[in-house]
């Protein structure tokens, strides 16, 4: 895989993810009051330069020109968020940026798709307190919904940077502290376990109808996992209720249309953003593996590339 194959895959995956009409999410058919598909469409191309630089740095680590603790993951995340904010006014992709940059670097170091998550985990473990400070700056710029206040190392506290520096909190440590309330950080420290598992679920269904397959796998994710964005915004009871309803869909006790109506009846409160981020990056891996889109009888299908 070369640099541009990586970049193309990691821009294509999230764009496909957001276009597909999934329950509770923005899609080509649905917007929220403060977030539309157009925010996503302009925000992702703005990341191309940042992704290219991330890959170049990873190649330098691979060749020994840089050490793993010089990867600058936090800075790259912050600059990615800034690049997205320059072209639109919402927060369409913070979670995808946070997932994608370490994984892109990991993949660049190994050149083997299935080893990318472990290499990314190594970079997270070797990160510095400076990376965490840059991550905090990125969070403040993106301003994601539902962040708790009054917790240890509160991102909005005036003393946050002083506390991070004093305790030498790198990205791995802040991810461990935050793993129960943020799925993205759990993926960091688990080597992208759920992301790769979702990639494999998708891959084993190919050839398959694009939208139906992505929606079906997404429902399975919702039935098996608590979405941490819902957990933060709406509380555990709502997050567990969403999981229960998704299980009803999987079990044939609730229709997809009924589930979508349930997910939207409180605006974006039940928007499963964390699992959507995982799906987006899983799709990036799928396109990196050579999957292509093909029209069959008026419908888009995912098929194996014949190159």
**pLDDT of 306 higher than 80:** no
> Residues 70, 73, 75, 79: what is their CA dihedral angle, to the nearest 10 degrees?
140
Q: What is the pLDDT of residue 196?
A: 98
* pLDDT score of 157 more than 70: yes
Q: Which residues contact 87 (CB under 8 A, 6 or more apart)?
A: 42, 43, 46
Question: What's the confidence (pLDDT) of residue 147?
Answer: 86
Encoding tokens for residue 68?
Answer: 């793993």
Instruction: Tally Cβ neighbours within 10 Å of residue 24.
Output: 26
**Tell me: the pLDDT tens digits for 230-289?**
999 999 999 999 999 999 999 999 999 999 999 999 989 999 999 999 999 999 999 999
Q: What local confidence, expressed as pLDDT, does residue 307 receive?
A: 52
Average pLDDT over the chain reads 96
Write out the two tokens for 27: 């899609």
Q: In this structure, are residues 25 and 303 in contact, taking their beta carbons and an 8 Å threshold?
A: no
Instruction: Supply the pLDDT for residue 65.
Output: 98
Span 119-148, pLDDT tens digits:
999 999 999 999 999 999 999 999 998 887
What is the rounded distance in angstroms from the CA atom of residue 49 to the CA atom of residue 76?
10
For the domain spanning 3-304, the CATH number is: 1.10.4200.10
Model confidence pLDDT, tens digit, residues 208-232: 999 999 999 999 999 999 999 999 9
Higher pLDDT, 78 or 145: 78
Could you give the percent of the chain with pLDDT greater than 90?
94
Q: Are 43 and 141 in contact (CB under 8 A)?
A: no
The domain locations on the chain are 3-304
């Amino acid at each position: 895989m070369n640099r541009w194959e990586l970049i193309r895959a990691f821009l294509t995956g999230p764009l496909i993810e957001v276009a597909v009409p999934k329950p509770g999410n923005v899609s080509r058919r649905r917007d929220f009051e403060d977030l539309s598909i157009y925010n996503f469409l302009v925000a992702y191309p703005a990341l191309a330069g940042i992704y290219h630089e991330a890959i170049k740095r990873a190649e330098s680590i691979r060749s020994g020109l840089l050490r793993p603790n010089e990867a600058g993951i936090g800075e790259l995340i912050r600059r990615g968020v800034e690049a997205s904010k320059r072209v639109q006014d919402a927060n369409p992709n913070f979670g995808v940026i946070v997932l994608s940059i370490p994984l892109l670097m990991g993949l660049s170091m190994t050149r083997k798709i299935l080893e990318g998550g472990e290499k990314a985990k190594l970079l997270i473990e070797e990160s510095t307190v400076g990376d965490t400070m840059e991550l905090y700056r990125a969070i403040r710029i993106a301003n994601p919904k539902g962040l708790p206040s009054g917790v240890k190392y509160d991102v909005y506290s005036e003393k946050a940077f002083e506390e991070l520096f004093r305790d030498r909190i790198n990205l791995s440590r802040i991810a461990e502290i935050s793993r129960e309330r943020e799925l993205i950080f759990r993926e960091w420290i688990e080597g992208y376990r759920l992301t790769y598992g979702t990639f494999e679920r998708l891959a084993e269904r190919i050839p398959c109808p694009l939208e139906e397959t992505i929606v079906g796998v997404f429902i399975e994710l919702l039935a098996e996992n608590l979405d941490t964005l819902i957990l933060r915004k709406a509380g555990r009871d709502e997050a567990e209720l969403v999981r229960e309803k998704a299980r009803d869909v999987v079990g044939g006790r609730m229709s997809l249309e009924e589930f979508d109506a349930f997910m939207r009846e409180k605006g974006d409160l039940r928007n499963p953003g964390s699992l959507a981020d995982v799906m987006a990056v899983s799709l990036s891996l799928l396109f990196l593996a050579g999957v292509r889109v093909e029209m069959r009888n008026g419908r888009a299908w995912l098929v194996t590339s014949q190159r």
